[in-house]
Chains A and B, each alone.
Chain A
Amino acid sequence: MKKWHWLILALLTIASIIAGLLMHHEPPHNHLWDTFPVFWVLFGFIGCAALIVFAKKILAPIIYKKEDYYND
């Protein structure tokens, strides 16, 4: 990832937040998740991290097996 890659992503995020602030939220698009400006930013970041942590830290110790586990 080069610097300008990150710049594009940052610009996209800022644009999306501004667009969210400027637009009207009419029913049925007036829930918390429609109106709170960075809701989906948090959802994406926390959701992704939570999935990784849950799978790798909680589930993996229980179900990871060596590749020849079934062979005997």
Chain B
Amino acid sequence: MIDWIPPAFIMMVGAVLLPFLPKKIRSTAFVFITFCTLLVVWFIPDGFIFQAKVMNYSLTLCKVDALSRIFGIIFAFICMSGGIYAFHIKETGQQSAALIYAGGALGVTFAGDFFTLFIYWEMMAVASTYLIWARRTKTAQDAGIRYLLYHVLGGGLLFAGILMHIGKPGASIDIMTLKPDMGLSVWLMLLGVVINAAVPPLHAWLSDAYPKATVTGAVFLSAFTTKTAVYVLARVFPGWEILLILGTIMTVYGVIFAVLANDIRGILAYHIISQVGYMVAGIGIGTAMAINGAVSHAFSHILYKALLFMGAGVVLQTTGKSKLTELGGLGKKQRLTFWLYMVAAFSISGFPFFNGFISKSMTVAAAGEKQLYWVMFLMTLAAVGTFLSVGLKLPYFTWFSKEKPAELKVEKAPRNMHIGMAIVAFFCILHGIFPGMLYKLLPTPVNWSPFTMHHFIETVQILVFTFAAFWWLRFKLLKPKPYITLDLDWFYRKPAGVFQEIVVDPWDKAFNKAEELVLRAARRLVEIGKNPYMLFARGSREGTYSPDKYRPAVGKIVIAVLGLFILVLFFALTKK
């Protein structure tokens, strides 16, 4: 007798049943299913295990502890809020895909063995691709294919690593902490996981695909894929130094590209990379405080990042535009959207009493505690850039900066979108004021408070003067431009030209020359074959042999034959 159901099952069963329900109640059913899942995740007891026997393996489909529970709670919660935000969408495909996607995320979170993890991992990849394709534009289709290819590659690497890992003598399929010196298998697994965490240089799929997804799809996308990867990193790879280095680079990398981005959801997508950097680096530090920081930041991040994508989604939904160069002056029409967005913007920028303040600072402090000062400063620089792009540039050029362009038509947003946003915004502020509510869910007890004088002073000074620099340069330098940026592809697009010039072109030329020579020789031979006399005849030559013209006089032939005869005779007589 089982008294609890694995949370992922509820979502999966829901996804299958949803298309059979009457259209009218599907959105309600979606929210109901996710709410039930949230309840189960919240109350399922620690240590609950659900196993199934498949062939010779006993798979642990569900195993509950504090780390998996905190991720499970936020995944179920954000899926529910996303369901409210997307309440007006009457498209079964998107709704079922979102449920499978969220179910996959929960499956990974509660997986007790590597096989189960892998299966849910792949389900997420497929379901999430649908949320990009559902936009039904050519760009979205192409981006979806690229996205899927990346994740198929990641899944393949992960699976290869898993197979190698369990092939070792005495190995078990149960999920456990791995160490860098355990051979190729663990590195393959790491590679598969960091693709999903969008760790540069394997991040391009994220900034490519997320801005092209559907309005509501992007909300789900922003929550699940990268954060399940963060969960797996925290579970399996804590304390790997390479994660510390890559994560710290990530924080700044995403920020710099966001300064250049013109698409509002492109800016937000690059800031996912930046924010996930804090988590990856925290896991790389590996101390209890750093892991707590990473996990709490993942929790906060899912809340405010979903809210940011919801805000940008309202803009896209109501105007049909998502480029800063085409937006501006929407403030008067979208006061509520603006302020709900700003709650998330204040959170991600680490304003005191918003949830970014209480989670990001824990990771930064953990770096300081281990005397990793370069990490600390780069993370703080990334925080400056985050406020700059998400907190200032995006809202300023979307809702202010000029009068609304006359051709920009603004529709009314469905009420449910704002309700969804308000629910998430409420928790951003709640956790910002009462951090204990979040801290008590963390895997290890927290003896640390974000509310210290040093922290307040630092934050106030940084934020005020980031704003000052923004105000000074906002039209001089920062003004959005209608361009897109190359990213990683610079490395093969630009040098491709040089490579072509140095390596490809000379060979190409040599082959062309050779071909030309051979053809010319062949043509000449053909000509000669048609009329060998051309080799001897002077003056006018004709292309083809004509006996009337070229036949020599009989006398010449007789002389030639006679001469030959004399020659032969001469040799025959003198040779004795």
Enumerate chain A residues within 8 angstroms of B464, measured Cβ to Cβ.
Answer: 9, 12-13, 41, 44
Cα A69 to Cα B469 with chains together (Å):
32
Given A51-B255, A63-B487, A56-B460 contact (CB < 8 Å):
no
Q: Please, which residue of chain A has its CB at the minimum distance from the CB of B486?
A: A63
CA distance A42 to B377 in the complex (A): 13
Contacts of B260 in A (CB 8 A): 55-56, 59-60, 63-64
- A12 with B460: CB separation less than 8 A: yes
Interface size on A, residues (CB 8 A): 42
Whether B454 sits at the interface, judged by CB under 8 Å, is yes
Contact B256 A56 (CB under 8 A): no
User: Across the interface, do A62 and B465 meet the contact criterion of CB distance under 8 Å?
Assistant: no
A4 lies within 8 A of chain B by Cβ: no
Kindly state whether residue B153 has any CB partner on chain A within 8 Å: no
Total contacts A-B at CB 8 Å: 127
Write out the residue numbers on chain B whose beta carbons fall within 8 Å of the beta carbon of A1.
Answer: 471
Contact A55 B484 (CB under 8 A): no
**A54 contacts across to B, CB distance below 8 A:** 256
Closest to B389 in A: A51
Q: Which residue of B lies closest to A20 (CB)?
A: B457
Q: Answer whether residue B456 sits at the interface, using C-beta atoms and an 8 A cutoff.
A: yes
Measured between alpha carbons, how far is A49 from B388 in the docked complex, in Å? 10
Q: Is B512 an interface residue (CB 8 A)?
A: no
Residues of B in contact, count (CB < 8 Å): 42
Report if A40-B478 is in contact (Cβ < 8 Å); known contacts: A16-B457, A52-B469, A63-B487: no
Interface residues of A in 14-46 (CB under 8 A from B): 15-17, 19-20, 23, 28-29, 34, 38-46
- Bound Cα distance from A62 to B485, whole angstroms: 9
- Interface status of B7 (Cβ within 8 A of chain A): no
The docked-state distance in angstroms from the alpha carbon of A38 to that of B483 is 37
Contact A23 B259 (CB under 8 A): no
Report the nearest B residue to A22, measured CB to CB: B453
Contact B457 A48 (CB under 8 A): no
| CB-nearest residue of chain B to A46 | B469
- Tell me which of A12, A39, A48, A63 contacts B384 (CB under 8 A): A48
CA distance A10 to B469 in the complex (A): 14
Question: B22 at the A/B interface (Cβ < 8 Å)?
Answer: no
Residues of B within 8 A of A52 (CB): 259, 388, 469, 473, 477-478
B389 to chain A, nearest CB (A): 9
The reply to whether the CB of B481 lies closer than 8 angstroms to some CB of chain A is yes
- Could you give, for residues 471-507 of chain B, a 1 whenever the CB lies within 8 Å of some chain A CB and a 0 otherwise? 1110001100111111100100010000000000000
User: Which A residues are in CB contact (< 8 Å) with B287?
Assistant: none
Residues of A within 8 A of B470 (CB): 48
- Taking a contact as CB atoms under 8 Å apart, the answer to whether A51 and B486 are in contact is no
Q: Are A43 and B385 in contact (CB under 8 A)?
A: no
CA distance A38 to B462 in the complex (A): 10
In the complex, A38 Cα to B465 Cα: how many Å? 11
Given known contacts A56-B478, A63-B490, A47 and B381 CB-to-CB distance under 8 angstroms: yes
Q: Given A64-B260, A65-B486, answer yes or no on A43-B384 (Cβ-Cβ < 8 Å).
A: yes
The yes or no answer to A72 lying at the interface (CB within 8 A) is no
Q: Are A51 and B388 in contact (CB under 8 A)?
A: yes
Chain B residues with CB below 8 A from A9, complex form: 464, 467-468
CB distance from A45 to the nearest CB of B (A): 4
B461 within 8 A of A: yes
Question: In whole angstroms, how far apart are the Cα atoms of A28 and B376 in the complex?
Answer: 14
Asked if residues B471 and A67 are in contact (CB atoms below 8 Å), the reply is no
A55/B256 contact (C-beta < 8 A), A38-B461, A44-B466, A67-B483 known: yes
Most buried by A among B381, B384, B466, B490: B384
Contact status B466-A56, CB under 8 Å: no
Residue of A23, A29, A41 touching B465 (CB-CB under 8 A) = A41
Can you identify 6 A-B contacts, CB atoms within 8 angstroms?
A16-B461, A40-B461, A41-B464, A44-B466, A47-B381, A64-B484
Residues of chain B whose beta carbon lies under 8 Å from any beta carbon of chain A: 255-257, 259-260, 368-369, 380-381, 384-385, 388, 453-454, 456-458, 460-473, 477-478, 481-487, 490, 494
Q: Please name the 9 residue pairs, one residue from A and one from B, whose CB atoms are nearest each other, closest first.
A: A44-B465, A40-B461, A48-B469, A55-B259, A44-B462, A45-B465, A64-B483, A63-B486, A47-B384
- The residues of A with any CB-CB pair to B shorter than 8 Å are 1, 9, 12-13, 15-17, 19-20, 23, 28-29, 34, 38-49, 51-57, 59-60, 62-67, 69-70
